[in-house]
Amino acid sequence: MLPPIDVATPVAESSHLEHRGSVSGSGPSSAVIIPTSSPMVDASLDDDPTLPPPPLQEVAPAPIVASATVAVTKQTMGMWALAALTFFGVSGGPYGAEELVSSGGPMMTIVVISIVPWIWCFPMALMTAELATTMPEMGGYIVWVDRAFGPFWAFQNGIWKVACNIVDNSLYPYLFVYYLMDLTGELTYSTRLLVSFSLVFVVCALNILGVDVVSDASFVLMIFTLMPFLALVLVGLARGEVDPADWGAGPPDGQAISYGTFLTIALWKTSGYDNAGTCASEVKNPAKAFPRAMFISVVLVTLVYLLPIMVGVSYAKDYSKWADGYFVYVAKLTAGSDWLGVWVTITGSLTALAMLNTTICTNARAIQCMAALGFFPKPLARINKRFKTPDVAVLVNGIVVCLILLPDMDFAEIANLSMWFYAITIFILFAAFLRLRVTHPYLPRPYKIPLSFWPLTFFVAMPPCICCLLLMIASNQTTWVIGLGVCTLTFVLWFPHRWYVQRYIVRVTPPLLDDHGRPLDAPTTGRTTSATTRYEGDVEMSAVKTPPAKTKLTTANAKPINISGISGSMNLPLNIHGANGAPGAGLVGASGSGHGTVV
Sorted by sequence, the CB contacts under 8 Å of residue 557 that are 6+ apart come out as: 72, 382, 383, 385
Q: Is residue 206 left, alpha or beta, with left meaning phi > 0 and alpha meaning psi from -120 to 50? A: alpha
3-state helix, strand, coil split of the chain in percent (to 5) is 55, 5, 35
- Cis check: omega of the bond before 10, within 30 degrees of 0: yes
3 state SS of 532: strand
Specify the CATH number of the domain 79-438+453-475. Answer: 1.20.1740.10
Give, in degrees to the nearest 5, the angle at Cα 338 between 336 and 342.
135
- Within 13 A of 441's CA, how many CA atoms are on the CB side? 5
Nearest-angstrom CA–CA distance, 283 and 438: 27
Buried b / exposed e over 99-108, threshold 16 CB at 10 Å, is: bbbbbbbbeb
Quick: pLDDT tens for 363-372: 999 999 999 8
Is the separation of the CB atoms in 270 and 116 below 8 Å?
A: yes
**The predicted structure's pLDDT at residue 597:** 31
**φ, ψ of residue 35 in degrees (nearest 5):** -65, 140
- Within a 10 A sphere around the Cβ of 492, how many other Cβ atoms? 9
The DSSP bridge pattern shows strands 550-552 and 575-576 to be unpaired
Could you tell me the end-to-end alpha-carbon distance of the chain, in angstroms, rounded to an integer? 10
Is the separation of the CB atoms in 132 and 280 below 8 Å?
A: yes
Is the separation of the CB atoms in 322 and 53 below 8 Å?
A: no
Nearest-angstrom CA–CA distance, 341 and 331: 5
Is the separation of the CB atoms in 159 and 483 below 8 Å?
A: no
User: Any idea what DSSP says for residue 359?
Assistant: H
Beta bridge partners of 541: 33, 506
Question: Of 578, 575, 499, 590, nearest to 539 (Cα)?
Answer: 575
Question: Of 90, 456, 129, nearest to 299 (Cα)?
Answer: 90
3-state SS string over 393-434? HHHHHHHHHHHHHCCCCCHHHHHHHHHHHHHHHHHHHHHHHH
Nearest-angstrom CA–CA distance, 284 and 74: 9
**The predicted structure's pLDDT at residue 261:** 78
Largest CA distance in the chain: 86
Nearest-angstrom CA–CA distance, 73 and 368: 12
Nearest-angstrom CA–CA distance, 404 and 166: 9
Question: Of 313, 322, 179, 295, nearest to 233 (Cα)?
Answer: 313
Nearest-angstrom CA–CA distance, 539 and 453: 31
Sheet holding 539-544, edge to edge: 30-35, 539-544, 505-509, 575-576
Is the separation of the CB atoms in 367 and 188 below 8 Å?
A: no
Nearest-angstrom CA–CA distance, 373 and 577: 14
Q: Provide the residue ranges of all domains of the chain, joining segments of one domain with +.
A: 1-61+507-599, 79-438+453-475
**The predicted structure's pLDDT at residue 255:** 78
**The predicted structure's pLDDT at residue 50:** 53
3 state SS of 31: strand
Q: Consecutive 10-residue runs of the chain (599 residues): their mean pLDDT? A: 35 30 31 35 42 44 31 76 94 89 91 93 96 91 92 93 88 88 86 93 94 91 94 94 91 78 87 92 91 95 95 92 90 92 93 94 93 89 90 95 81 77 94 94 91 94 94 87 91 88 60 54 34 31 31 34 32 34 30 32
**The predicted structure's pLDDT at residue 527:** 29
Nearest-angstrom CA–CA distance, 290 and 3: 34
**φ, ψ of residue 283 in degrees (nearest 5):** -100, 135
Chain centre to alpha carbon of residue 388: 18
Buried b / exposed e over 429-452, threshold 16 CB at 10 Å, is: bbbbbbebbeebeebbbbbebeee
Q: pTM of the entire structure? A: 0.74
DSSP 93-158: SSTT-HHHHHHHHHHHHHHHHHHHIIIIIHHHHHHHHHHHHHS--BTTHHHHHHHHH-HHHHHHHH
- Within a 10 A sphere around the Cβ of 288, how many other Cβ atoms? 15
Nearest-angstrom CA–CA distance, 337 and 315: 13
